[in-house]
């Protein structure tokens, strides 16, 4: 006597699916078409109704290559931001002030030992 | 069912015509889409009357969404396939919640050799349909497109907007889930495994 396995193997599932797919499908009744068309008539938009275009943000997403491209762009932006913050962290927050002209390039108090002079004089 | 009156226009073009008030486009779309939707619903539900109700409901949703349809995005046929699948799933899950015995679900008339064989067929098909309805949506769509509609993996990938590898993964996971759901019932349902 053959003992059926406890769990159907993939071939068993395929067999079941094929059997279900092979069942004869009756034609839809003529009444179905009539019912569907009554609904269509009831919801028929006014003549000349406009076709809606995709919203602007979807057009932009499609324009730059879809959601895959957007995610790449976001990843690259985030990576650049992290690198930038890391660089600031290495030099200290005070380094932000060096971006101002007065603090960074005010040479009125520089003496002869300033880097430029020292370089010129060897 | 009459032949497609506008074979040179695709579904989206017909839907656009309907959205502009062309009643003839509705007839052409119905002739084109309803038979496939009915076959899909019948295979999932196993009941002609319920399948027709699902098709009417799905087509009604299509008429309602026509003015807001985003042309150039989803295919109309794919959208409808998904709607029909979800409506069928809702009905199958309600059957389970309302305590309707799976074996009581009407089956199509077919020349089964005997009453016992028919009963076993009913039980087998109902159990499989319930298991399919319990699948996550994408697994269910990939599985039914593959096995009920005979679509190839590349065709399914195009319809669902995913890769062929993803389709293979979805169908494999779906079959494992079906196997788990039907575990222990194989012999009782008349399968030899």
- For B80-139, the pLDDT digits (tens) are 999 999 999 999 998 877 765 444 555 555 555 577 777 788 888 999 999 999 999 999
In a domain, A45, yes or no: no
Q: How far apart are CA B151 and CA B36, in angstroms?
A: 13
Predicted local distance difference test score (pLDDT) of residue B8: 77
CB-based contact, B110 to chain A, within 8 Å: yes
**Three-state secondary structure call for residue B13:** helix
Whether residue B18 and residue A58 make contact (CB cut-off 8 A), yes or no, is no
Print the domain residue range for A70: 58-121
Number of domains in chain A: 1
CB-based contact, B72 to chain A, within 8 Å: yes
Predicted TM-score (pTM) of the model is: 0.67
- Is the predicted pLDDT of residue A17 greater than 60, yes or no? yes
In a domain, A15, yes or no: no
Predicted local distance difference test score (pLDDT) of residue B188: 59
Q: How far apart are CA B63 and CA A45, in angstroms?
A: 9
Q: Tokens at residue B133, please?
A: 């309805």
Predicted local distance difference test score (pLDDT) of residue A46: 83
Predicted local distance difference test score (pLDDT) of residue A71: 78
Taking CA atoms, B191 is separated from B114, B115, B119, B172, B186, in Å, by 17, 18, 14, 20, 5
In a domain, A108, yes or no: yes
In a domain, A90, yes or no: yes
In a domain, A14, yes or no: no
Residue B152's Cβ-side half-sphere holds a number of Cα atoms within 13 Å equal to: 2
Topology of domain B108-193, per CATH?
A: Arc Repressor Mutant, subunit A (1.10.10)
pLDDT band at B5 (very low <50, low <70, confident <90, very high): low
In a domain, A3, yes or no: no
pLDDT band at B151 (very low <50, low <70, confident <90, very high): very high
Instruction: Tell me the pLDDT of chain B averaged across its residues.
Output: 86
- ipTM of the predicted structure? 0.80
**Extents of the domains making up chain B:** 1-100, 108-193
CB-based contact, B173 to chain A, within 8 Å: no
Topology of domain B1-100, per CATH?
A: Rna Polymerase Sigma Factor; Chain: A (1.10.1740)
């Amino acid at each position: 006597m053959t003992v059926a396995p406890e769990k159907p193997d993939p071939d068993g599932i395929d067999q079941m699916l094929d059997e279900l797919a092979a069942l004869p499908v009756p034609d839809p009744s003529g009444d179905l078409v009539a019912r569907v068309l009554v609904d269509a008539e009831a919801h028929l938009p006014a003549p000349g109704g406009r076709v809606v275009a995709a919203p602007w943000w979807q057009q932009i997403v499609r324009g730059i290559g879809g959601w895959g491209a957007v995610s790449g762009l976001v990843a690259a932006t985030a990576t650049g931001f992290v690198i930038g913050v890391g660089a600031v962290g290495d030099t200290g927050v005070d380094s932000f002030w060096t971006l101002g002209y007065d603090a960074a390039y005010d040479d009125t108090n520089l003496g002869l030992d300033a880097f430029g002079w020292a370089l010129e004089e060897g | 069912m009459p032949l497609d009156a506008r074979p040179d226009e695709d579904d989206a073009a017909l839907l656009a015509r309907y959205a502009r008030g062309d009643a003839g486009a509705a007839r052409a779309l119905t002739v084109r889409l309803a038979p496939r939707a009915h076959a899909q619903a019948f295979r999932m539900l196993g009941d002609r009357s319920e399948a027709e109700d699902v098709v009417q409901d799905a087509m009604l949703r299509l008429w309602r969404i026509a003015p807001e349809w985003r042309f150039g995005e989803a295919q109309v046929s794919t959208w409808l396939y998904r709607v029909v699948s979800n409506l069928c799933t809702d009905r199958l899950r309600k059957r389970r919640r309302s305590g309707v015995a799976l074996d009581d679900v009407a089956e199509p008339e077919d020349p089964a050799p005997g009453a016992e064989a028919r009963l076993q067929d009913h039980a087998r098909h109902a159990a499989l349909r319930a298991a399919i309805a319990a699948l996550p949506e994408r697994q269910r769509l990939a599985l039914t497109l593959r096995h009920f509609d005979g679509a190839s993996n590349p065709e399914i990938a195009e319809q669902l907007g995913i890769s062929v590898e993803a389709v293979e993964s979805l169908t494999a996971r779906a079959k494992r889930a079906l196997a788990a759901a039907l575990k222990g019932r194989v012999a009782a349902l008349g399968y030899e495994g």
